[in-house]
């Protein structure tokens, strides 16, 4: 997994060039989901060569959409189909979190325990880190996927002990519990603890305690050598079309991103998890209660257009994924892609909006207007959305361009004098002025979220 790809193991938060989610409009009648519109949405991404993979939408036990798009193997032109198995990337994390909570229920650990209780030789910097801190990305342990040497090591087989050794002596990014920062290291550490405490390999523990009880027979720990029937091949986009994705040894993502599954198995998982078949009510509440930055235990929990959603995305060489569950109406949306890019998150949010009776406008349906260069010039500047993420707006040859932190530059197209959209991904930017007529902030409309960026 290259550095950029591994970052997509993280939940899709402000990945501007790769994973911008479209916004949805006001709710209408949710009684009859428009499955034809769902199909149009997915096909728009297929036609735009942004997506191939499988999609499933279910309301309770009723399946609304269940199809494959594109190819599981481009060389042999083998179509993607619902039985195709995809690497999950960071959707793996919720299975790791559930495993920790199962061990807690069995009295093997307590999530309030210090990590040092089970790792007496842990460095002094870890003295105050609890298992709960690690579950919620508030431990401060730096993510090894951000290290400068990561790209040179991702193809080399390793062990959980060696993975932990990569980051155990690094300085913390912050003191435990103070802040939130996504850490693949933390979830590797959890897998290490699962093995140490249970006496089983991570692979065996998840198989015996989650996959087998839920009859998830098409799920497992991915392998570079085993023959896995119906496994999809992973591809990355390129200037001349898709190409085979880079190599990563599957011992590297471990408990942070190593599992594979299908849309149907992930529906079984959502039905089992939220149907009380995996965890006790108390454990499930702990798993789905956010601690900081809308993150709970291996899951993001937020509200989109009035609908609570429990979700996570994933990304790994050749694959991007999205799994979303809306508890109020037991709506499950699964989008698994074997082509890298932000389409799964976009598609999932739009399919959910349609299921809720909301209007969705696709990028290709937006109408561009002309805005004077003098007006465009007022929007030039840097807008800070978070301390680590900004959008830079420039005016080049009479056209607004936007560039997010660590992302390529893309043009903005006007829908109104203050509202703009991108064509490469479905996202909108709206500018706002103060009483003096000065532009002071923008709003990024993304995946049902409205995120403010203050002009610096």
Measured in whole angstroms, the distance separating CA 383 from the mean position of its chain's CA atoms is 24
Domain coordinates in residue numbering, the chain: 3-93+195-364, 366-455
Task: List pLDDT tens digits, range 248-259.
Answer: 999 999 999 999
The arithmetic mean of pLDDT across residues 47-55, rounded, is 96
Distances from the Cα of 11 to the Cαs of 182, 250, 311, 344, in angstroms?
A: 8, 20, 9, 12
- Pairing mode, if any, of strands 78-79 and 86-87? unpaired
Predicted confidence (pLDDT) at residue 102 exceeds the cutoff of 50? yes
Are 424 and 50 within 8 A, CB to CB?
no
Please state which architecture CATH assigns to domain 3-93+195-364: 3-Layer(aba) Sandwich (3.40)
Strand partners of residue 124: none
Predicted confidence (pLDDT) at residue 451 exceeds the cutoff of 50? yes
For residue 31, the model assigns a pLDDT of: 52
Cα distance between residue 165 and residue 204, in whole Å = 23
For residue 425, the model assigns a pLDDT of: 79
Band of the pLDDT at 276, cuts 50, 70, 90?
A: very high
Band of the pLDDT at 286, cuts 50, 70, 90?
A: very high
Fold of 366-455: Lipocalin (2.40.128)
The arithmetic mean of pLDDT across residues 152-181, rounded, is 97
Predicted confidence (pLDDT) at residue 376 exceeds the cutoff of 80? yes
What does the chain come to in residues?
A: 456
Model pTM above 0.75: yes
Q: Which residue has the higher pLDDT, 32 or 367?
A: 367
Average pLDDT over the chain reads 92
Residue with tokens 């994933």: 314
Predicted confidence (pLDDT) at residue 25 exceeds the cutoff of 50? no
For residue 20, the model assigns a pLDDT of: 28
């Amino acid at each position: 997994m290259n550095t950029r790809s591994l970052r997509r193991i993280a939940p899709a938060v402000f990945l501007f060039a790769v994973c911008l989610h479209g916004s949805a409009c006001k709710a209408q009648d949710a009684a009859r989901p428009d499955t034809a519109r769902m199909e149009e949405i997915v096909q728009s991404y297929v036609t735009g060569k942004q997506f191939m993979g499988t999609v499933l939408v279910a309301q309770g036990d009723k399946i609304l959409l269940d199809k494959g798009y594109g190819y599981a193997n481009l060389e042999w032109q083998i179509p993607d189909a619902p039985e195709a198995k995809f690497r999950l990337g960071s959707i793996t994390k919720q299975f790791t979190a559930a495993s920790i909570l199962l061990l807690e229920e069995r009295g093997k650990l307590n999530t309030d325990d210090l990590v040092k209780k089970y790792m007496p030789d842990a460095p002094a910097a870890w003295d105050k880190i609890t298992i709960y801190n690690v579950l919620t990305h508030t431990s401060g342990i730096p993510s090894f996927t951000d290290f400068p040497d990561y790209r040179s090591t991702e193809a080399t087989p390793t062990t959980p002990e060696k993975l932990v050794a990569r980051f155990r002596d690094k300085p913390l990014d912050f003191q435990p519990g103070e802040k939130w920062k996504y850490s693949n290291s933390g979830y590797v550490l959890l897998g290490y603890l699962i093995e140490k405490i249970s006496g089983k390999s991570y692979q065996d523990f998840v198989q015996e305690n989650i996959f087998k009880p839920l009859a998830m027979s098409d799920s497992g720990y991915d392998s570079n050598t085993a023959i896995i029937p119906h496994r999809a091949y992973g591809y990355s986009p390129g200037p001349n079309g898709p190409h085979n994705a880079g190599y990563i040894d599957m011992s590297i993502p471990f408990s942070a991103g190593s599992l594979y599954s299908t849309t149907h198995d992930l529906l079984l998982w959502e039905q089992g998890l939220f149907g009380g078949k995996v965890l006790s009510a108390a454990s499930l509440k702990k798993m789905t209660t956010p601690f900081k930055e809308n993150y709970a235990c291996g899951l993001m929990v937020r509200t989109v257009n009035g609908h609570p959603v429990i979700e996570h995305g994933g990304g790994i060489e050749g694959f991007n994924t999205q799994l979303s569950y809306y508890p109020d109406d037991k709506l499950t949306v699964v989008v698994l892609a074997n082509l890298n890019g932000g389409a799964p998150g976009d598609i999932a949010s739009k399919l959910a909006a349609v299921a809720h009776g909301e209007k969705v406008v696709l990028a290709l349906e937006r109408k561009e207007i002309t805005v004077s260069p003098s007006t465009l010039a007022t929007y030039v500047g840097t807008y800070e959305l978070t301390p680590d993420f900004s959008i830079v707006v420039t005016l080049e040859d009479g056209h607004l361009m936007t560039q997010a932190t660590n992302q390529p530059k893309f043009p903005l197209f006007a829908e109104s004098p203050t509202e703009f959209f991108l064509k490469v991904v479905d996202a909108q930017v709206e500018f706002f002025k103060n009483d003096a007529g000065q532009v002071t902030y923008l709003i990024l409309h993304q995946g049902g979220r409205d995120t403010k960026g203050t002009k610096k």
